[in-house]
Copies of this chain bind each other. A is one copy, B any other.
Amino acid sequence: VKTVERVRRLDEGNLPALARGCAILGAGGGGDTKVGLLWAMNAVRDHGPVPVVDLDELDDEDLVMPCGGIGAPTVGIEKIERGDEILRIRPVVEELWGKPVVALFAAEIGGTNGMAPAAWGAVAGLPILDADGMGRAFPEVPQVTMAVAGISPNPAVMTDERGNVVVFRGIDGGWMERMERALAVEFGGQASSSEYQCTVAQAKTGTVRSSVSLAVGIGRVLTEAERDPVGALAQALDAEILIAGKVVDVERRTTAGFVRGQVTIDGLGGDAGRTMRLEIQNENLVALEGDRVHAMVPDIITVIDTESGLAIQTERVRYGQRVSVLAFPCDPIWRTPAGLELAGPRAFGYDLDYVPVETLHGA
């Protein structure tokens, strides 16, 4: 989507496009957008459209609040938010900061977490930012651009659908992740939370900007592609098509609040004879063909249905699906040393030096 058309509000007309775009940007993670779309559509029907504002329209001292769900996406399909989580989180954040929240934004634009601010913005009567904290999805709490920019995760506020509310002040992002994950597991595998609240001034350099507009734009490319949605997407995103084929093996387990595993894809048509393996940890992290790495985190690797062009989240991938694997560059902030330390291949336990997808795949 080389030229992004600025989105000014989210409503029943463009939420489906947002959902499709969030799924593509999710790199397989961030939760199922079907659930998030139903939730956001309901909220907008009940409470009206949600304004989308740019950071430049707000005062530098204003408080903006990231939000989203934490937990394993496999659980999120069945254990959904009650919808009023924002009404418990927001007042606690406002009390702790001593000022009002002027806008919500997605901690991650990827997956259903990209839809959460729309749903919560409608319920709370708050606009949302045309920005997010990842430009994609990542599995862990501190893997956000706010952390790369040096913004504190404290205070974090978490709630469950029952009404329990917990405020965390962690010594660092790693402990925030451990504490919140442990509690999300205790809550049944899924909870809602806000971390890394910040001022508009901080958000200007500490978020990925225009990502809501980008997601809607990606969704529209899919709607408008009359045939070959994969090709249309690849062109719009400057993405590489790593393979087109069929899922022949899925190894997936849900442990400690994460989905982990591998997906194997055998090529079809022009890719016949090739086999690609994706390593997953909530998101698709590394794409390998034998020993050759085609793409790696933090670049975005998304599995899409070859016929419809719709993204398939890691928890939905199954044997026999005809898929294409797309890979495209992450936001430049992730390619900085601080970004790679938080979310590069070594942060996920892979003994790989990061190489950008456009270099790797072209090699």
Q: Give residues in A with beta carbon < 8 Å to B.
A: 162-171, 175, 178-179, 182-183, 185-186
Establish whether residues B169 and A165, one from each chain, have CB atoms under 8 Å apart when the complex forms: yes
Give the 10 A-B CB pairs with smallest separation, nearest first: A182-B186, A167-B167, A165-B169, A163-B171, A182-B182, A166-B168, A164-B170, A164-B175, A162-B171, A164-B171
A165 to B171, CA, bound (A): 8
Shortest Cβ distance from residue A107 to the other chain B in the assembled complex, whole angstroms: 19
A183 to B185, CA, bound (A): 10
A164, A171, A175 pick with most chain B CB within 10 angstroms: A164
Establish whether residues A166 and B166, one from each chain, have CB atoms under 8 Å apart when the complex forms: yes
Closest to A181 in B: B186
Establish whether residues A179 and B186, one from each chain, have CB atoms under 8 Å apart when the complex forms: yes
A182 to B191, CA, bound (A): 14
Shortest Cβ distance from residue A168 to the other chain B in the assembled complex, whole angstroms: 5
A183 to B170, CA, bound (A): 12
A167 to B168, CA, bound (A): 6
**A interface, over-half SS:** mixed
**A to B CB contacts below 8 Å, 25 in the list:** A162-B171, A162-B175, A163-B171, A164-B168, A164-B169, A164-B170, A164-B171, A164-B175, A164-B179, A165-B168, A165-B169, A166-B166, A166-B167, A166-B168, A166-B169, A166-B179, A167-B167, A178-B186, A179-B183, A179-B186, A182-B182, A182-B183, A182-B185, A182-B186, A183-B183
How many copies of this chain does one complex carry? 2
A117 to B186, CA, bound (A): 29
A163 to B176, CA, bound (A): 12
Q: Which B residues touch A165, using CB under 8 A?
A: 168-169
Q: Which B residues touch A170, using CB under 8 A?
A: 164
Shortest Cβ distance from residue A170 to the other chain B in the assembled complex, whole angstroms: 5
A106 to B170, CA, bound (A): 26
Q: Which B residues touch A185, using CB under 8 A?
A: 182
A140 to B241, CA, bound (A): 55
Q: Which B residues touch A175, using CB under 8 A?
A: 162, 164
Shortest Cβ distance from residue A215 to the other chain B in the assembled complex, whole angstroms: 34
Shortest Cβ distance from residue A295 to the other chain B in the assembled complex, whole angstroms: 33
Besides A164-B168, A164-B179, 20 more A-B contacts (Cβ < 8 Å) are: A162-B171, A162-B175, A163-B171, A164-B169, A164-B171, A165-B168, A165-B169, A166-B166, A166-B168, A166-B169, A166-B179, A167-B167, A178-B186, A179-B183, A179-B186, A182-B182, A182-B183, A182-B185, A182-B186, A183-B183
Closest to A175 in B: B164
Shortest Cβ distance from residue A174 to the other chain B in the assembled complex, whole angstroms: 11
A175 to B160, CA, bound (A): 11
Shortest Cβ distance from residue A90 to the other chain B in the assembled complex, whole angstroms: 15
Shortest Cβ distance from residue A355 to the other chain B in the assembled complex, whole angstroms: 35
A185 to B186, CA, bound (A): 11
A164 to B178, CA, bound (A): 11
Closest to A171 in B: B163
Q: Which B residues touch A164, using CB under 8 A?
A: 168-171, 175, 179
Shortest Cβ distance from residue A195 to the other chain B in the assembled complex, whole angstroms: 13
